[in-house]
Amino acid sequence: MQTGQAGSAPKRTSLHGHWSSRMAFILAVTGSAVGLGNIWKFPYIAGQNGGGAFVIVYLICVVAIGMPVMMSEILIGRRGRRNPVATMELLGKEEGHSGNWRFVGLMGVIAGILILSYYSVIAGWTLGYVVKSATGSFSGASAAVIGKQFGDFVGDWKIVGFCHTLFMGITIAVVARGVERGLEQAVRFMVPALLLLMLALLGYSLNSGYFGAGLEFMFTPDFDKLTWDSVLAAMGQAFFSLSLGMGAIMAYGAYLPEETSITGASTAVVAADTFIAILAGLVIFPLVFANGLDPADGPGLVFDTLPLAFGQMTGGAFFSTIFFVLLAFAAWTSAIGLMEPAVAWTVEHFNRTRSQAAIIVGGSIWALGLGSVLSFNVLSEFTFMRGTIFDNFDFLTSNILLPLGGLFIAIFAGWVMCRNSTADELGGAGPTYKLWRFLARFVAPIGILFVFLKAIGLLDYIIGLVQ
Ligand code: TRP
C-alpha cells in the first residue's frame, strides 16, 4: 500500500495566503471549533441521551478519534495547500494512489453546506435573543413564561427567517473579504470573553442549590440507558464540536506555516473546545433541575434555561445581551469555517473571485436554510425519517457525513500516505508520532466503523447470519 515516496515536504504555497502566526492559526481553529456545538448542542444532546454515559462516550471519542483525525486533517491540509477537494486529489496521486480521493473532499464541501444551512438558523435565534435580552424580556420571568417566549419566537417564521438572512449576510461579508482580516481579531477577543461569562454563569449555577444534581446528571454514567444510537450521537457530536470530518480544518491547515507543531496546536484546540462544552453543561443542567425543566427538552434547551438565570440576576438584561452577542460571535467564527471548503473550492475550481464565491455559496446555503427556518413552525408537522427537515439535516451531517469523512481522512493519513510524508509533517517519528499513527490507522477507523454498523444494526445482522 505504501509506495516509498520521498518524504521531504514539497514546498507549495497556498493561493489564499497564510496565517500570520502560530497563535493566529490556533485562534482560527478554536474559533471554528467553539460555537453553537458547545453551548447550544452539547447540553441538549447530552440531555436527550441520558447524561453521564453519553458524556463519557463523548470524551472517549474526542481523545481516541477526534484528536488523531484533527492532526490528520491539519497535516493533509498543510501538505496539499489547496482546497480540500484538490488537496485530496493531489496527495492521493502523489502517494501513488488514486485521484479519486477528491470525492472525500467533495463530500466535505457538501457536508459544510448542509450544516451551515441549519446552523445559520440557530445562530439567527441567538441574534433574536440579543434583542429580547436588551429589551428586558426576561426580567423576573418564570420558566413557563420564558418557555412560551421561545415557542412564540421560533413559531414565527418571518422573524426567524429574517434573523437567518441577517446571519448569512454577515457571514458572506466576512468570507468575501478573506479570512485573515477581521476574523483573527474577532476570535482573539471573543473566546476569552465567552469563557469569562460562562465562568460567571457557573458561579450562578453553583449557588442555585442544584449544582450537585447537575454534576450527577453529567458524570454518573448509567450504561444501561446507553443505546448504540446514543453512542453514534456522541461520536457525531465529537466530530461536530471539533469541526472535523468535512475538510474545514484541512482548509485551515493549508494556510499554516511550515514550522508550527501540529500536535501542539491540536492539543490546545481540543482541550479548549472540550472544556467549554463541559462548562456549558455544568451551567445548564443545574438550572434545568432547579426549575423543574426537562433535560431532554431538545434544541430549545439553552434558550429556555439561560434567560431564566439572567432574568433573576441584577443587571441580568445587560449580561444576557452580552452573552447572546458572544454566542452569535462564536457561531459567526464557526460559520466562516463551515463555508471555507466550499468557497476555496469554488475559487480554485470555477475560477471565481472570493467575493463571487462567497455570494454563490452563501446564497445557496441561505436558500437551503429556509427548510430549517420552517421546521419549527409552518412545516413542523412535515416529518420523515428522523423528523423535520432540520432534524434530518442534522442527523445526516453529524451522525453520518462527518464520521464517514473522518473515517476516510484517518485511512488516508494512516494508510495511504507513506510514513515518511506524515512523519515529516508531524516533526519526526518519535513516540507521539507512533501513538498518532496507531490511533489513525486502527483505533479511529475501527471505532467509527464499529459504531456505524452497531447503530444501523448491521453488525448484529451479520453476526446473526454467521451463527
Ligand atoms: N464546531 C462548530 C461548533 O461546535 C460547528 C462545526 C461543525 C464547524 N463543523 C464545522 C465549524 C466545520 C467550522 C467548520 O459549533
Q: What is the mean pLDDT of the chain?
A: 93
How many whole angstroms from 400 Cα to the centroid of ligand 1?
A: 15
Phi, psi (rounded to 5 degrees) for 387: 130, -135
Q: Which residue of 69, 109, 110, 115 sits with most ligand 1 atoms within 8 Å of its CB, as the best mutation to test the pocket?
A: 115
pLDDT digits (tens, 9 = 90+) for 269-301: 999 999 999 999 999 999 999 999 999 999 999
pLDDT digits (tens, 9 = 90+) for 432-467: 999 999 999 999 999 999 998 988 777 778 888 887
Q: How confident is the model at residue 183 (pLDDT cuts 50, 70, 90)?
A: low
How many whole angstroms from 35 Cα to the centroid of ligand 1?
A: 7
pLDDT (0 to 100) of residue 262: 97
- 134, pLDDT greater than 90: yes
Q: Which residue of 167, 243, 404 sits with most ligand 1 atoms within 8 Å of its CB, as the best mutation to test the pocket?
A: 243
pLDDT digits (tens, 9 = 90+) for 8-23: 556 788 877 778 788 8
pLDDT digits (tens, 9 = 90+) for 235-280: 999 999 999 999 999 999 998 988 899 999 999 999 999 999 999 9
pTM above 0.85, yes or no: yes
CB atoms within 10 A of CB 367: 11
| DSSP 8-state assignment for residue 387 | B
Residue nearest to atom 6 of ligand 1 (CA): 243
Find residue 384's DSSP bridge partners.
387
Residue nearest to atom 9 of ligand 1 (CA): 243
Q: Who lines ligand 1 at CB under 6 A?
A: 32-33, 35-38, 115, 240-241, 243, 246, 248, 334, 337-338
pLDDT (0 to 100) of residue 121: 98
How far is the C-alpha of 106 from the C-alpha of 442, rounded, in Å?
A: 24
- 62, pLDDT greater than 50: yes
Q: Which of helix, strand or coil describes residue 366? A: helix
- 5, pLDDT greater than 60: no
- Measure the CA angle with vertex 389, ends 384 and 395; round to 5°: 85
pLDDT (0 to 100) of residue 467: 78
DSSP for 402-431? Answer: HHHHHHHHHHIIIIIS-HHHHHHHTTSSSH
CB 91 within 8 A of CB 77: no
DSSP for 352-364? Answer: --HHHHHHHHHHH
How far is the C-alpha of 300 from the C-alpha of 160, rounded, in Å?
A: 14
